[in-house]
Amino acid sequence: MYEIYCREKPKSEFIVSKYIDTFEKLRQHLGHKLQLADLLIKPVQRIMMYQLLLKNILKYTEKAKLMSEADELRKAVHVMNVVPKKANDMMRLGRLQGFDGRISDQGELLQQGKLAVSYTTYASACTNLSAILATATKPKERQIFLFEKMLIVSKVIRAKSEFWMPWFTFKSQFPVNWMSLHNDLSHPLKFCIMCVNPRQKGLAWVFQAASSNDREEWLQRIRSVLQSQNDLLSALECPISYHRET
């Protein structure tokens, strides 16, 4: 429920900003203290309040040595540790414009964030990252969304004022089943995704993270989704052998 609300929140912000004068007249007429924008943010703020409430309940439940109840509360606290990040991811995803496909068809959003991105073409036999980097275009800051089935690259449109978050304009996409991941310890902030589709072979994207930790997080996510893709292909090609191994 909260994920859906947060995903649609940018649309509600746009509507409020477009008809702000009308909403303000209604607020004054009804005698309400808070503006509509203030009310729209409350469900988002409530997420963190739930987290704090559950942690306090867990603390006193453990003091009372109610172990069975404490186990269930720990599960609830874990869920509420995940929900804020998912809610934030959904709010950012809701600001993506220009993507022609159905976002819901791309699977779960696994990772999102800003990376410097450059493009290049390379000889199909080349897998040397340094050689590929030497021909890459000048990197540009991009907002990246990694789904189970697709990686989406978008341009960051800066906010016009301090009261609004940036928007993202769709630039390009990369199906997961076309991806081959490459990285090199001599480039601690960079990694490369090459295209394995025969029709577009020789195309590569170079990504640069702000820190080594950020890079490692992206690498782990991408490796995980590629492994899931390989597992699915193995299960489809030889289901009996796959189930024996698992």
- For 50, the token pair is 């739930």
Reported confidence tier of residue 50, pLDDT bands at 50, 70, 90: confident
Q: What percent of the chain has pLDDT over 90?
A: 36
The domains of the chain, with CATH numbers, are 2-93 (1.20.900.10), 98-240 (2.30.29.30)
Range scoring the smallest mean pLDDT among 61-70, 93-102, 135-144, 152-161: 152-161
What pLDDT sits at residue 117? 95
Residue 37, helix vs strand vs coil: helix
For residue 174, which of 155, 146, 201 has the smallest C-alpha distance?
146
What DSSP string describes 127-188? --HHHHHHTPPPPEEEEEEEESSEEEEEEEE--SSTTS--EEEEEEEEEGGGEEEE--TTST
What pLDDT sits at residue 171? 94
Inter-CA distances, 58 with 50, 53, 79, 242, Å: 12, 9, 13, 42
- For 202, the token pair is 């020789």
Task: Round to whole Å and give the CA distance between 125 and 104.
Answer: 36
Mean model confidence pLDDT for the chain: 84
pLDDT above 90: residue 14: no
CB 127 within 8 A of CB 196: no
CB 87 within 8 A of CB 112: no
What pLDDT sits at residue 74? 92
Measure the CA angle with vertex 166, ends 161 and 168; round to 5°: 150
168-194 confidence digits (pLDDT tens): 999 999 999 989 898 887 888 999 998
Q: How much is the pTM?
A: 0.73
Beta pairing partners, 180: 194
